[in-house]
Amino acid sequence: MGTPTAKPIDPRLNGLIRALMKLYTRLNVFVYRTSSGRLMNRFPNGSPICLVTMTGARTGRRRTIPLIYIPHGDEVILVASQGGMSTHPLWFHNIRTNPEVSITAQGRTRRMHAQLADDAGKAAVWPVAVAAYPDFVDYQARTERNIPVFICTPV
């Protein structure tokens, strides 16, 4: 793989980007659910999507978001990249606070426990994540934060 060429995201655009992501997320979840996963089940680059349902850290309300589906044996890897923005996505805080999630992918919903990977754990699964979605390399290069990775195991 070549050298990352990503430039940092201008912090002045964070609000606009988050608003657009929130709108797209709602649309994606609605279409995915109403079509039983037949529509909007892949990102534009072709990567498969899973729906991750979690409990809000502050509100306690259930939230569902689409993320890139990265199976790894019986586990699922979730990457909190947010496109390489300078801050963690909001869902990162939800899962860190409430690690019990459900993941819907390929017509199946599973209850899982999400564990935030330490540096060694991330290093072990990062190649799997990058193989599933090569842009993660650029996202990591774009930000100074260490992009968090959760490893989800079946409950």
Cα–Cα distance between 52 and 138 in angstroms, integer? 24
The model's pTM: 0.86
Name the CATH topology of 11-38+48-154: Pnp Oxidase; Chain A (2.30.110)
User: If we measure between CA atoms, which residue out of 12, 143, 133 comes closest to residue 85?
Assistant: 143
Q: What is the pLDDT of residue 23?
A: 86
The domain segmentation of the chain, as residue ranges, is 11-38+48-154
Task: For residue 1, name the pLDDT band (cuts at 50, 70, 90).
Answer: very low
Residue 33: phi and psi, rounded to 5, are -65, -45
Task: For residue 2, name the pLDDT band (cuts at 50, 70, 90).
Answer: very low
Which residues, listed in sequence order, are joined to residue 114 by a DSSP beta bridge? Answer: 152
Q: What is the pLDDT of residues 12-57, one digit of tens each?
A: 776 777 778 788 889 999 999 999 999 999 988 899 999 999 999 9
